Amino acid sequence: MHRENYMNALREDIVDTITKYLTPMAQRYGYSDIPLETNVKWRPMVLVIGNYSSGKSSLINEFLGAKIQDTGQAPTDDSFTVLTYDDTVPEAEGIRVVEHRDGKALLNDPEFPFSTLRKHGQRFAAHFQLKRINSPFLKNLAIIDTPGMLDSITERDRGYDYQEVIGDLAQKAGLVLVLFDAHKAGTVREAYKSIRDTLTAHTFEDRIIFVLNRIDECTTFNDLLRVYGTLCWNLSQITGRKDIPMIRMTYSANAAASSNNSAHLPSFLPLLENQREDLRQIILQTPLRRLDHLASYLEIHGERLSHYIEALQNFALEFQSFRLQKIFIGFLISLLGGGLIAFLVMMTAGIAAPNALLSVGGIGAGLIMILWMSFFQKKLDQKFRTRRLENLDTLTPVADQTRKDSWSAIRDLVGQTLRKNKGDYTLYDLKMDLFDIRQVNNVVTQKIREALSDFRGMSDHDLEEWGKDAWSVTPKKPSKL
């Protein structure tokens, strides 16, 4: 209990840091349209995707300890289903669905992190749902079951962009299981696109677990080796990597026991029980890995936001310097113009009184300066912006790979922001906010990593002592912020 409380306290501290310090700056400067904590404020999630016959629902039912999701050889469910915990009904009364909520209510409930999915439209909302289940497996995590991927289906057939939904959910998930079945170790078109493009763009490689499911349907060990080898080859072609990603092997014991061939299960299955248990433990450890992911999320967005504000500040500094130079040139031109006007008046009108000539020259200089600021200066400012935006890569130094990765992630966004508001930010505010975000990156993130490290070395006694008077795991806002 104390271990879970510590994990929850640390998770809340990280989310609180993101909410208080990163999100205000991110929305102020156009780094993000939504609060950054939206994707991480809820419980850890495991996203399960795979071909339509890969046994996703059967495996999920195995974990939950009851038949919650419909199963079958043909596509049986075309909905995205969020499976989460409910403790209002004792497990002794039987594991079952305690509450069911439809997609429209789910997308508009601030309790859940799914409001960003509203952009996918009404057709998606009609294929999105939540089930609260009193299964102890879900006590510290949630599972998202997905429609099976097909070969010939298109966005028009589904009514929403399936890949975009998968990408958004993968971004929120702490773990992504990609399932294949023994009968189709190859990949259909949607699976190929998901692995090759969608997942790589929206999540990290260490969060993706490849699973060969339904291995009980391989009649011999040689059949299993052939299927495993085929899947390895296919994945190497998709990922473009020479090293083959690790593939876990599993099956649903309940589904195998209920099949017609349950009396003739392959003799090699007992040898692979460790694989099944390993997969189960990987899923159950998602909350702990989630803490590392949250810390990484804070560090990555903190670094990118710092780099982003730095780029805006550099643009503002260059723009300010450019404007001062051109305004000074305009001032000199107006003085020369005013003097020339006074001289011409003196020569043509014969006016020799100094005060009169000074007035005429001053008026002429003022008119020239007004003309300069209202026309020439605006043209020069626009020319500067256009030229500078064409050379964005020189806006900030990118001396190492970390900076290169950061700049690659924010470069287009910096360009869009500068084109939209023309870099019209107060230089003082940019400098202060850049200082503050760097303080968060240097102080708070270090404390969070230290707390994570301490947690891994804590005994049950240590956690019990912490639980007596704990209210927070990490210190709040640095003193300088």
Q: List, for residues 53-69, the tens digit of each pLDDT value.
A: 788 988 999 999 999 98
Look at residues 309, 297, 249, 383 and name the one whose alpha carbon lies nearest to residue 35. Answer: 297
Owning domain of residue 229:
43-284
Same domain, 350 and 278: no
Overall domain count for the chain: 2
On whether the CB atoms of residues 245 and 199 are closer than 8 A, the answer is: no
- For the chain, give the mean pLDDT: 86
Q: Which of 231, 249, 284 is at the close of a domain? A: 284
Same domain, 65 and 108: yes
Token pair for 260: 């017609």
Same domain, 59 and 169: yes
How far apart CA 255 and CA 54 sit, in angstroms, is 13
Look at residues 181, 234, 185, 174 and name the one whose alpha carbon lies nearest to residue 209. Answer: 174
Q: Decide if 180 is inside a domain.
A: yes
* AA letter at 141: L
Same domain, 273 and 329: no
pLDDT tens across the length of the chain (481 residues): 567 787 888 888 899 999 999 999 999 999 998 889 888 888 899 999 988 878 898 899 999 999 998 876 555 567 899 999 999 999 889 999 999 999 998 999 988 989 889 999 999 999 999 999 999 999 989 999 999 887 665 555 788 899 999 999 998 999 999 998 887 766 667 788 888 889 988 888 888 999 999 888 888 899 999 988 888 888 888 776 667 778 999 988 877 777 655 567 788 888 888 888 999 999 999 988 888 888 989 999 999 999 999 999 999 999 999 999 999 999 999 999 988 988 888 888 777 778 887 888 899 999 999 999 999 999 999 999 899 999 999 999 988 898 999 999 999 999 999 988 766 678 899 999 999 999 999 998 888 888 888 887 777 766 666 665 554 555 444 433 4
Domain of 165, CATH number, reads: 3.40.50.300
Same domain, 261 and 376: no
Q: Decide if 3 is inside a domain.
A: no
Same domain, 59 and 200: yes
Same domain, 343 and 275: no
Q: Which of 223, 256, 284 is at the close of a domain? A: 284
Q: Which of 255, 284, 313 is at the close of a domain? A: 284
Q: Decide if 191 is inside a domain.
A: yes
On whether the CB atoms of residues 116 and 34 are closer than 8 A, the answer is: yes
Same domain, 360 and 268: no
Instruction: Centre a 10 Å sphere on the Cβ of residue 229 and count the other Cβ atoms it contains.
Output: 12
Same domain, 161 and 309: no
Q: Decide if 165 is inside a domain.
A: yes
On whether the CB atoms of residues 199 and 168 are closer than 8 A, the answer is: no
Same domain, 176 and 212: yes
User: pTM for this structure?
Assistant: 0.79
